[in-house]
Structure 1
Amino acid sequence: MSPRVDRPRRGRPRLDDGPALDRHRLIAVLMDIARAEGLEALNMRRVAGDLGVSPRLLYHHVHDKEDMVALLADEITGSTMPDLSQGNWDDRLRAVNAATQRAFREYRGIPANILSKALRTHNRVHGTRMREGVLQALRDAGLNAEQVEIAFVQFSIITLGSLVLHENLSDADGHLAIPAERVEHGIDLGLDLLIFGIKRLADGQSLLPVRDQGLD
């Protein structure tokens, strides 16, 4: 019996041949797709194709689309996260808001996805650090535990919700019920109002002084 001779394969190479799939390559492709086409374009087959690997190999790194989005969001968060270890509490909140606006403005659909999961527990490194940084800033403002949690919810709505509104501004095509410049002003004012309210609460004052006086 003649010995077996390995012959080179013909045709297209197998998808899982070629460069190894690592975290950096995966994140780079996720960013490219999400930035150019939005969150809806992310799926396992599309990402695997852009990476030049089989979907089976991709499943070793991410379980599904939700896992891909979480990985992408955490990487974007980590790349722009400000130093939250120093500075006044309100400056830290403004820094987080500004960094989030800069980081996620070009990734359509991701802010709404993050906002929908903002109150879930998770093990993403950068997201956890950002959340704890915001919570600590609220504690440093002088709020009690219940007030911290309520203020965190409001901060999440203002910061991420404003990005969702910005997406709708670009899609409105002249059909806005409110002029775009007023929407922009309302977005900018939201964080100022929250910080004003936090200061009142920390000083033991009511957020509704007129109603407290018995006036409707």
Structure 2
Amino acid sequence: MGELRRRIETGELAPGERVPSTREITRQWGVAMATATKVLTELRHEGLVRAVPGVGTVVSVPEPTTDPAPTAPAPSAPAPDRRSTRSPSAAPAGSTGLTLDRIVAAAVAVADAEGLAAVSMRRVAAELGVATMSLYRHVADKDDLLVRMMDAAIAERPLPADPPPGWREPLTVAARQLWGRFRAHPWLAPAMSMTRPQLIGSAMTYSEWVLGSLHGHGLDEQSAFTAHLTLLNYIRGLALNMETEREAEAQSGLDSEEWMDTQESVLLAALEGGRYPALARLARSGYDFDLDGLFEFGLQRLLDGLAVLVDEGTPPART
């Protein structure tokens, strides 16, 4: 641990740069996996490194230990004449320039960086440098803010103006774009409720797109909406793993691959004796776990199933 701490403190490993994984530590320094895990955990507790979803453990950006000294104004600089220099559209004196868009953007940024649990009215106000109560001029409460956050996150990448022909390709386009939104904002899936759906304008656009695609190809309204909910819940359910994985990385300092390395000996011991031959063969050959690949596989199988209901004759070939 001393060598890694030295490299971080001397700047040899710059802020944001990835530090060696547990596997790399064991290989470079010849220590046990448990020791390598403890090293990264201690560095994380000291605030020197942090886990970044999809990247691994990186060097933390140091926070300033003292406030910078204020810069004294130049004594010869005359005070500006606000009556003559302020444009009609400028904010009045004492205004923070606070807008709904700024509030939502700040809340989304906090959720993206630290998870939904970090979002509060007080925290968002602190990020914007305003009083907490000033937010309530623009949003009713935290629930209202959350709906607006979800709306903004989904609306970042709107669906095409014109759907492609048929039913399968429009559903594929919608599913992949929604998966991309969940990928970009890991907090979005757990924030979205299936049993108590929030009124999210940009999400309703997805619903209309899917329903329109299925209505035009033989499905009645009830079946089309059930198919829509099935597809949506598949995408959302798979996306829930992103936020839980991020939380696990933050707590352990290990990404999923590094964590699996620490469990290898336990898994192999459990597979001894021949009770689980299929799992034993898989453990020996290895399995490349890829969340995007899992999403795509499941999506195509769901669409294969819908093809049986849609009035298009023979279902499309599997891809």
User: TM-score range with shorter-chain normalisation?
Assistant: 0.7 to 0.9
1:93 positional shift: 1.4
Q: 1:3-55, CA deviations, whole angstroms, 9 ceiling, x for partnerless residues?
A: xxxxxxxxxxxxxx442211221122122111111111111111111112222
Q: Distance in 1 between matches of 2:198 and 2:101?
A: 25
Q: Does residue 202 of structure 1 match 2:279?
A: no
Give the aligned residue type for 1:140.
G
Q: Which has the larger radius of gyration?
A: 2
Is contact 1:81–1:130 with CA below 8 Å preserved after alignment?
A: no
Partner of residue 78, structure 1: 155
Map 1:1-216 onto structure 2 (within 5 A).
17-83=94-160, 85-88=162-165, 89-114=167-192, 116-117=193-194, 120=197, 122=199, 124-169=200-245, 171=248, 172=256, 173-174=259-260, 181=289, 185-203=293-311
TM-score for both structures, normalised by structure 2:
0.52
Q: 1:39-88, CA deviations, whole angstroms, 9 ceiling, x for partnerless residues?
A: 11111111111112222111122222222221011011111122153213
Is contact 1:141–1:199 with CA below 8 Å preserved after alignment?
A: no
Q: Distance in 1 between matches of 2:188 and 2:201?
A: 17
Is contact 2:104–2:149 with CA below 8 Å preserved after alignment?
A: yes
Q: Distance in 1 between matches of 2:124 and 2:295?
A: 34
Q: Distance in 2 between matches of 1:65 and 1:58?
A: 10
Deviates more, 1:69-78 or 1:102-111: 102-111
Is contact 1:143–1:198 with CA below 8 Å preserved after alignment?
A: no
Q: Distance in 2 between matches of 1:84 and 1:139?
A: 18
1:119 positional shift: 6.0
Q: Distance in 1 between matches of 2:178 and 2:217?
A: 21
1:195 positional shift: 1.1
SS of corresponding position for 2:145: helix
Is contact 1:40–1:109 with CA below 8 Å preserved after alignment?
A: no
Flag the 1:180–1:54 CA change in 2: closer, same or farther, 3 A: farther
What fraction of aligned residue pairs are identical, expressed as a percent? Answer: 24
Partner of residue 8, structure 2: none
Q: Distance in 2 between matches of 1:182 and 1:49?
A: 38
Q: Distance in 2 between matches of 1:144 and 1:31?
A: 37
1:118 positional shift: 6.7
TM-score for both structures, normalised by structure 1:
0.74
Q: Distance in 1 between matches of 2:179 and 2:198?
A: 23
Q: Distance in 1 between matches of 2:145 and 2:218?
A: 37
Q: Which runs of 5 or more structure 1 residues have no equivalent in the other structure?
A: 1-16, 206-216
Q: Which runs of 5 or more structure 2 residues have no equivalent in the other structure?
A: 1-93, 249-255, 268-278, 280-286, 314-319
SS of corresponding position for 2:208: helix
Is contact 2:179–2:235 with CA below 8 Å preserved after alignment?
A: yes
Q: Distance in 2 between matches of 1:22 and 1:117?
A: 30
Give the aligned residue type for 1:190.
G
Q: Distance in 2 between matches of 1:182 and 1:38?
A: 22
